[in-house]
Amino acid sequence: MTQVKHLTRLSDLTIEEIMTILETANQYAEGGNVPQLTGKVVANLFFEPSTRTQYSFAMAEHKVGLHTLDFTAETSSVQKGETLYDTVKTFEAIGVDGVVIRHPQNNYFDELIPNLNIPIFNGGDGSGNHPTQSLLDLLTILQEYGEFEGLKIAIVGDIAHSRVAHTNIEVMNRLGMEVHVVAPEQFQEVGYHWETLDEVIEEMDIIMLLRVQHERHDNGMSLTKEEYHQQYGLTVEREKRMKDGAIIMHPAPFNRGVEIANEVVECERSRIFKQMENGVYVRMSVLTHLLG
């Protein structure tokens, strides 16, 4: 694999590089030998709330033998006005070998990379990019179908505010998947052909649901939770209309009874918790590729 200095955008990686990361992650998932990065230290800098990304990175770091420093903005010099740049340069100066960063600013890493000599692992930037989430989604799909070419996926929900959607749409198109997008008008963006869930649900191999990101909305949601569920949610009735062998995905956290019915979250088609499991293997893979 060509050495990648940072993992910030999947659009910066070739298909060959992406497939190498996925193949290594799958080897780890199957119990393959895991190299140990003994003596190296990674700092986890999360400026936004996180459960899955933060703690699956932590588990991945543990499994590859890394020491970790866990940063909390609320108890740091950020409260005294320290910039993101100066915070990251501080961790570089004290000797860490890499930084995992989640930050509300889109493309926060552009100001860091020119003057940083350690790799950035992007844990999510604003509504822009979420490379490791997309990689774990791809690994889950690859395990299910063995390929990407020709698969049909509907990404449903708050597209405009979703870094998961933006990252997945770009990479899935490059991999030869047929990507359909479904969203209320409030969550739509220019440049896409918008469809309804009922129009596409019987044809899709994958239904990927997105959380309504209330924290990124200035004026709230125009639909009630009940209206959203009936018009755009994966209801029990819609799940029954999905074709044989089709699967359900969600990056989580999920709002039960809004974008997905409670009864559907752990149904036979659901791969939601499999995605979470795969998040550890994907993050182990990117850590060993960039730090190994």
Binding-site residue set for L-aspartate: 80, 163, 211
End-to-end CA separation in angstroms for the chain: 12
Closest CA to 101 of 211, 116, 14: 116
Q: Name residues whose C-beta falls within 8 Å of residue 19's C-beta, 6 or more positions apart in sequence.
A: none
What tokens were used for 62? Answer: 């543990």
Q: What is the CA radius of gyration of the chain?
A: 19
Q: Which residues does 147 contact at the CB level (< 8 Å), separation at least 6?
A: none
Distance CA 241, CA 198 (A): 9
- Smallest CA-to-CA distance from 152 within 234, 246, 231, 233 is with 246
How far is Cα 101 from Cα 109, in angstroms, rounded to an integer? 9
Helix axes 131-145, 163-174, angle to 10 degrees: 50
Show binding-site residues: 52-53, 80, 102, 130, 133, 163, 211, 252-253
User: Tokens 């799940």 map to which residue?
Assistant: 239
| CA-wise closest residue to 15 among 133, 106, 135 | 135
DSSP letters spanning 280-291? HHHHHHHHHHHH
HEC per residue, 70-99: EEEHHHCHHHHCCCHHHHHHHHHHCCCCEE
Annotated binding site for carbamoyl phosphate: 52-53, 102, 130, 133, 252-253
